Structure 1
Amino acid sequence: MSDATRPLILLSNDDGYAAPNLIALRDQLTRDADVVVCAPEVNQSATSHSLSLHRPLRLRRHAPDVFAIDGTPADCIYIALHAGTRVLPRRPDLVVSGMNHGLNLGVDAFYSGTVAAAREGALRGIPSIAISADVKAQRDAAAAVGARLALAMHRALREVRPVRAPLLNVNIPPGDAWPIRSTSMGARLYSEEVIFRQDPRGREYLWIGGAEVRHDQVPGSDTEAYDEGHVSVTPLTLDLTAPQHASLINEIIASIA
């Protein structure tokens, strides 16, 4: 029986509902909260914020409070929040996405399905947090830190809710114990490659995205925190307006008036 005093958390990811990191994070969160999982049926990494608008989707219940969608992470949050009581007994207090198997630093946030699931929650007015861990982070320790941050976020917002729901992006470096710091988005740069090959029948195919990655020095950033062995907590914005370019817009409009 659910305890009415416990927060209700909607948990998702982009690695799939059966991913070990999601299970580890769920186990930590359920110590202090009621948790409902609604996550992709299979891996949906790097799907960003795409929604499946042009094909039917299937909702499957794999266990009590564990649901899977054959769609994207954003699909999962959208469906869970708008399917009446098919998935959730009520509106959740918090959306948690993760724990991702791998980092989402810097520009990764634009491509990440993990971050997108949390962003979808924040767009619907629910405080949301995305949690990612380096593949060399100790899983249980990282899940414990992620759960502590998520629950601390809920406690901090119980009395006062900001006009816009906050969206946090957490990244955990290798190891099993870490300091935690507030950060901004850093510069994580990949080698940009398009690799052309031929299949056994002589037809061309290609891979995009390089394997090499580097971090430019950005003081106070999530990439700097990672390089120094700290957990980073980065507040992300839902407002993409760039006021610094207002004068450019005025110049463009004036030139065609």
Structure 2
Amino acid sequence: MKEKSRTKKIGAIIGLLAFQIAPLIIVLFHLYSFSNYNKASGWLKDNEGLCKFYTTKNSAHRSFTWTGPCNAGLAHGQGKLSVYESDRKLYDFDGFLKEGKIDGYGVMRWAFDGDVYEGHFKKGALNGFGRFYNDDGDHYEGDFVNWERYGEGTYWYDPESEKFKYTGEWKNDEPHGIGTLYYRDGRTKRGVFENGELIKEHITEHAMTDNYPKNVLITNDDGVEDMNRLVCLAETISERAEMVVVVASSSNRSGTSNMLSVSKTGALTAKLLSLDRERNIYIYEVDGYPADCVLFGGLGVFQQQNKTIDLVISGINGGANPGLAWFGSGTIGAARTAALAGLPSIAISGINEDREDKNGLAKLCKWVANFSGSKAVQDIQSYEYLTVSIPENLDDIKGVKVVERAISFDKPPFYLKCEVDETENLEIGRDITWYLHPEDPSTVYNMPAENDIFYYSQGYIVIVPMSINENNYPRIDHYSTYESELWKLFLE
């Protein structure tokens, strides 16, 4: 009886172990199979067997369709790609392939969860700058290396999270390095992150709105002849700043964009006009352009005192700069120069140049000072700047709109008219003057479009986020297809 009882117990134990181990063996088997299944990269052929596409996974179970060109039997160029696995669609890709591999700018949409990526690929993987949108509502904008977030980027958390966004450095798909974490309740934590965790917090002026900006540079493109607006803004912003430096050109430099004289002459002539030691306000006159003023302030005055600039303000200037006015504006040129130097900057314009209403000017200076300390300005990222156009009638302003710039027009915004009838007085070597005649802006732009021109004309303060990065990424890959053809032209 004891022997049978012992045998039954051993059998029960073995049965129990088998019952518990069997699922583990099955799981391990599936993991092993999936691992090998997942590594099966290789070439796929289309239904006609004429064009091939390379997949990094599951080549034995995948198929594809391709609407673009095929070069030497490989999908190559711009088109639409759909990839299937066991007849189930995995994803669609609209963009560029190079020698059978996804390579260049494009948009990928995953069929099973609705995720979307738009940006750059290299050898079939996410590499370079891009934007990834998750179906849960979170998304990331920044750098990728081999499918992982790596470099500089900003991640917006899903709406259910207490966190709002993280902006800073990334490594291996996690916040890693210097960054800032924003919470939905208004809290901000800035410091050093490691593998997604904040390991060392820094309390800086950027994290505390009331103490930002500490060091401010103010300039304009109207020069010293319009100093009253600059002084008004400097005195107002000095209530929150530790040091304010005003640098203005010795003459009106409107319409000079980001021209530099110091790059040609190698020197600048500057004159200290006044120094308010109590409020720490310096006012300089420089024989140069607005861009020279920015360099003089940043590389001269502040650097000489071992200080860095927190914010560059170009303006407050007369005459608004919506639409195409940004292209030649010295006001915006100064802000663009600051952004190129990695300095947060804003360009303020629009007040009536002949305005003598001191109360109105004081009100505007206070708004600009408060705007400068707002989270909106603190959130300016590297190589970005903001342009602000303010309607002339301050009493009738309807609100603030952040919109895109109108960069198209129905006809040129001006024309040149000859002082004489050139067709009847053709004479080689004769100097003839052609006069600039501006067109009515309302007849130049497509006014119904909801851009800065539209809202400015409706009485809104208009803010346009700008960037010095003028790369046309979607077209780089298109024009790269002409490389060999253009090289052949050179060799002819």
TM-score, structure 1 as length reference: 0.84
Per the alignment, do residues 153 and 40 of structure 1 end up closer, same or farther by CA in structure 2, a change over 3 Å counting? farther
Q: 2:378 aligns with which of 135, 149, 156?
A: 156
Residues 131-150 of structure 1 mapped to structure 2, 5 A cutoff: 131-135=348-352, 138-150=360-372
Matched, 1:48 2:268: no
Provide the secondary structure at the position in 2 that maps to 1:204: coil
Counting only pairs closer than 5 Å after superposition, residues 3-18 of structure 1 correspond to structure 2 as 7-18=214-225
Q: Aligned match of 1:128 in 345, 348, 353?
A: 345
C-alpha deviation, 1:99, in angstroms:
0.6
Q: Which of 272, 278, 284 matches 1:67?
A: 284
Q: 1:67 to 1:142 in 2, by over 3 A?
A: same
Name which of 461, 465, 474 aligns with 1:235: 465
Query: How far apart are residue 17 of structure 1 and its match?
Result: 3.1
Q: Is the 8 A contact 2:302 2:308 kept in 1?
A: no
**Alpha-carbon distance change, 204 to 238 in structure 1, aligned in 2, over 3 angstroms:** same
Rate the CA distance shift 1:188–1:131 in 2: closer, same or farther, 3 A.
farther
C-alpha separation between the residues in 2 aligned to 1:188 and 1:247?
Answer: 24
Unaligned runs of 5+ in 2: 1-210, 276-281, 421-429, 488-492
1:100 is aligned to 317
Conserved? CA contact 2:245–2:297, under 8 Å: no
Is the Cα–Cα contact under 8 Å of residues 222 and 249 in structure 2 kept in the other structure? Answer: yes
Q: Which moved more, 1:13-22 or 1:46-55?
A: 13-22
Could you say which structure has the larger radius of gyration? 2
Cα distance in 1 for residues equivalent to 2:415 and 2:346: 31
Q: Which residue of structure 2 lines up, in the alignment, with residue 183 of structure 1? A: 403
Q: Name the CA shift for 1:176/1:43 in 2 (closer, same or farther; >3 Å).
A: same
Q: Return the alpha-carbon distance in structure 2 between the equivalents of residues 140 and 87 of structure 1.
A: 31
Question: Comparing both structures, which one devotes a greater share of its residues to strand?
Answer: 2
Counterpart in 2 of 1:205? 433
2:123 alignment counterpart: none
- 2:308 pairs with one of 87, 91, 94: 91
CA distance in 2 between counterparts of 1:222 and 1:141 reads 23
* TM-superposed deviation, 1:165: 4.1
User: Could you say which residue in structure 2 is the equivalent of 1:253?
Assistant: 483
Conserved in 2, the CA contact under 8 Å of 1:80 and 1:88? Answer: no
TM-score (norm 2): 0.46
- Give me the whole-angstrom Cα distance separating, in 2, the residues matched to 1:35 and 1:94: 10
The residue type equivalent to 2:387 in the other structure is N
Counterpart secondary structure, 1:195: strand
1:26 lines up with 2:248 in the alignment: no
Secondary structure, aligned partner of 1:121: helix
CA 1:166/1:31 → structure 2, altered by over 3 Å: closer, same or farther? same
Identity of aligned pairs, percent?
A: 24
Secondary structure of 2:297's partner? helix
Cα drift, residue 247 of structure 1: 4.1
Amino acid in the other structure paired with 2:310: D
Read off the aligned partner of 2:455 and give its amino acid letter: A
Amino acid in structure 1 at the alignment position of 2:392 = P
| Alignment check: 8 A CA contact 2:316 2:351 kept | no
Q: How many residues align?
A: 246
**Alignment-derived partner of residue 329 in structure 2:** 112
For residue 17 of structure 1, give the secondary structure of its aligned residue in structure 2. Answer: helix
| 1:255 Cα offset (Å) | 2.1
Contact map agreement 1:183 1:221 (CA 8 A) in 2? yes
1:188 Cα offset (Å)? 7.5
| 2:53 alignment partner in structure 1 | none
Contact 1:93 1:154 in 2 (8 A): no
Q: 1:84 to 1:62 in 2, by over 3 A?
A: closer
Matched with 2:248 is 39
For the Cα contact (< 8 Å) 1:67–1:87, is it kept in 2?
A: no
Distance in structure 2 (CA, Å) of the matches to 1:175 and 1:88: 40
Distance 1:153 1:191, change over 3 A: same
CA RMSD across the alignment: 2.7
